[in-house]
Amino acid sequence: MGGIDRALPWKDCFVLPEGVIYLDGNSLGPLPVAAVRRVAQAVEAEWGGRLIRGWNDAGWMAQPAKLGDRIGRLIGAPAGSVVLGDTLSIKVYQALAAALSMRPERRVVLSDTGNFPTDLYMAEGLIRQTGQEHELRLAEPEAVEAAIDDRVAAVLLTEVDYRTGRKHDMRGITEAAHRSGAVMIWDLAHSAGAVEVDLAASNAEFAAGCTYKYLNAGPGAPAFIYVRPDLAEQAEPVLQGWLGHAEPFAFETGYRPGPGIERMRVGTPPVLQMAALEAALDIWDMVDMASLRRRSIELSELFIAEVESACPHLRLVSPREPSERGSQVSFAFDQGYAAMQALIARGVIGDFRAPDIMRFGITPLYLDEGDVCRAAAIIAEVMASRAYEAPEFQVRAKVT
Amino acid sequence: MGGIDRALPWKDCFVLPEGVIYLDGNSLGPLPVAAVRRVAQAVEAEWGGRLIRGWNDAGWMAQPAKLGDRIGRLIGAPAGSVVLGDTLSIKVYQALAAALSMRPERRVVLSDTGNFPTDLYMAEGLIRQTGQEHELRLAEPEAVEAAIDDRVAAVLLTEVDYRTGRKHDMRGITEAAHRSGAVMIWDLAHSAGAVEVDLAASNAEFAAGCTYKYLNAGPGAPAFIYVRPDLAEQAEPVLQGWLGHAEPFAFETGYRPGPGIERMRVGTPPVLQMAALEAALDIWDMVDMASLRRRSIELSELFIAEVESACPHLRLVSPREPSERGSQVSFAFDQGYAAMQALIARGVIGDFRAPDIMRFGITPLYLDEGDVCRAAAIIAEVMASRAYEAPEFQVRAKVT
């Protein structure tokens, strides 16, 4: 455990409510202190003061590519290969549609049962749309590589499983896809800002991710898409909105794709959300992902050890081997929903994923050993006291 | 000219920079004073204070439908038929894809050359996607009705032309489309908050619009989509993201569309932009669209009269008949780009649309006779002095 990493200096950069240990940054990252002022500036000085002129003066129009480059550094993507916009669902659709158009003779989209459902739903919708008898094939996470054959047009996977935290071998699976002639698409929802990602080295054609989880850009923050630079000029954007046009302000009636990654833009970018993202990235610009990953593993190992020693009823469903895990730790427990409510009532905020998974995000930017140990102690208390049996914790809220 | 309407009481509800007469609310509405505090609250109290719990506690998850109902009132749409999300480009794609799936035996999408280009680009992209030899047919705006035949699957039109302000006959064209068995989709980008719209009476199947223009919800504010209630349960969302699923938090691997308009949701809604929209709608909730429209026409007539009497070189390209016009006034001028820059330098902010159109939005919530007359006087001064010939106004900026 590297001493210099023990106290990452960013905890004070976040607003963390009193009495809360926040283990849900894998679902929604906390508020960066600087985002308060940055968003206010976007609202008051830019929107209020510059009005329509903000598109030029305040740089709104250039933000999607500029912020894309800053995210690129965190995921091993070269400058000019990442652009912000829309939601992750939309970006997955774009990537998959472009991938299918690169393999017109193939008919299978391969994904796994551990993928986040929206990726599967978007694929289903796209497949129905093509009317060409494409098929969505789902393998178990462990069986993906074996399921890649020469009928597969595209492999669409989320690198880190949203429930278990199980991490795919990005490089190995991409190589397997390429050996079979398939296009590779990685969903980095639980990777960007969580683990080291080297998109360029993986050689994957497409990736997409969101910015409201580990990147801390706020609720509803925009998604990003990556296209491998050698393909950027041939990828068909499919959702060809005007801001992906070569000359949006020429207002031509016919579409001409913009240069490189710009063509993956669709409509007007969400300027206020972009401002929050910018403040979040001011922190990320200073982060070394290798150090962060080491800290994530240290804290995760500690958390697992503490919980397991005190809570025999909780079954670790995340991989025990740290290198096979993302930056979250999940335990299965048949009363998991109620237990999570009991924890939240005590200030330990994780979340629940059906059918029985208690999920805890380990986010070293704003968590330390003290947090992790305190959280484990509270979990132990809830389990020992069976506090989750209280009626108020049994009622299911609509969402979390 | 109705006396009680002369001073609409909303001007103080907006931040209007000193020295600016803002005639570009048709491109980006100004900042509602209350949005400053409302967005700050969403950032600090909700995101910062509630973290992930904001999805329930702060009502984030319900906002798209709740705000949709409030927009519904402005466009004649019943409760439960409008939902917010994404960008207008995406919502147009969704509507058109759903429309085509309702007319599988037909192959033509009909639009007009006055449609905003992104609608045409999105249609093009969708058509290539279907691989079924669909065709995008473009008519001149005046010739749309005559171009509807029994090969047309869907008619996709923007009610108010973004360049000229020419207003289609929504009811008449919808009837013509239906007589030929086509599905009707209206883009309300320049209609919502600008003119009276009665979607229910028009009987159109789909509509979509944006909220950052006349509705004043801020740069990059989300779009909305309307589906006629009797079709809501059969419309295929195509972009079937997880938040349009019947049970998003069941995390099923297969998609089941949500109830009614909810299925048109895709991914995570932009919470900060929604907060700004909410503040903007607090004003709109008090507005009577018939009164607003009367004021818009009064102010537009005054503006046209003042400009025309002083500027013989400017040619009105908006319809002279007020009922055929949206809430903007456009003049053609061969030096239009430079002239608009000269105006902006003098605080009169309109915008320019290629090739030669100077566009002025007339927005009675925050403009009055004094503004309109002062703007006309400054336009007259710029034209008379040929101020636009100065070199600094000839250089084209990238965007406006």
In this prediction the ipTM stands at: 0.96
**Predicted confidence (pLDDT) per residue in A193-202, tens digit:** 999 999 999 9
Distance from CA of A1 to the nearest CA of B (A): 30
CB–CB contact B241 A47 (8 Å): no
Helix (H, G, I), strand (E, B) or coil at B294: helix
Q: Read off φ and ψ for residue B104, nearest 5 degrees.
A: -65, -20
Helix (H, G, I), strand (E, B) or coil at A30: coil
For the four alpha carbons of A190, A192, A193 and A197, in that order, the dihedral sign comes to positive
A319 close to A164: Cβ distance less than 8 angstroms: yes
CB–CB contact A239 B89 (8 Å): yes
Average pLDDT of every residue of chain A: 95
Chain B's closest residue to A249, CA to CA, is B399
Q: Which two tokens stand for residue A391?
A: 């009626």
Which helix (H) or strand (E) covers residue A324, if one does? none
Report which residue type is found at B135.
E
Q: Read off φ and ψ for residue B211, nearest 5 degrees.
A: -120, 0
With helix as H, strand as E and coil as C, how does A227-270 read? Answer: ECHHHCCCCCCCCCCHHHECCHHHCCCCCCECCHHHHHCCCCCC
Residue A110, pLDDT score: 98
For chain A, domains (ranges, CATH) are 3-33+288-393 (3.90.1150.10), 59-284 (3.40.640.10)
**Predicted confidence (pLDDT) per residue in B74-94, tens digit:** 999 999 999 999 999 999 999
Residue B9 in this model has a pLDDT that exceeds 90:
no
Residue B387, pLDDT score: 96
CB count in 10 Å sphere of residue A162: 24
**Predicted confidence (pLDDT) per residue in B144-168, tens digit:** 999 999 999 999 999 999 999 999 9
Residues in chain B with CB shorter than 8 Å from the CB of A336 are: none
Report which residue type is found at B145.
E
Chain A's closest residue to B101, CA to CA, is A129
Of B281, B285, B320, residue with least CA distance to B303? B320
CB–CB contact A220 B271 (8 Å): yes
Residues in chain B with CB shorter than 8 Å from the CB of A47 are: 28, 30-31, 218-219
**Number of helical H runs and strand E runs in chain A:** 12, 15
Residue A396 in this model has a pLDDT that exceeds 90:
no
Distance from CA of A181 to the nearest CA of B (A): 22
Parallel/antiparallel/unpaired status of strands A108-112 and A135-139 = parallel
**At what angle are helices B289-310 and B369-385 packed, to 10 degrees?**
30
For the four alpha carbons of B17, B20, B23 and B28, in that order, the dihedral sign comes to negative
The pLDDT confidence band at residue A397, using thresholds 50, 70 and 90, is low
Asked if the peptide bond before residue B270 counts as cis, ω within 30 degrees of 0, the response is: no
Assess whether B91 carries a catalytic annotation: no
Residue B34, pLDDT score: 97
CB–CB contact A276 B43 (8 Å): yes
**Predicted confidence (pLDDT) per residue in A207-217, tens digit:** 999 999 999 99
Residue A400 in this model has a pLDDT that exceeds 60:
no
**Predicted confidence (pLDDT) per residue in B184-198, tens digit:** 999 999 999 999 999
A391 close to A338: Cβ distance less than 8 angstroms: no
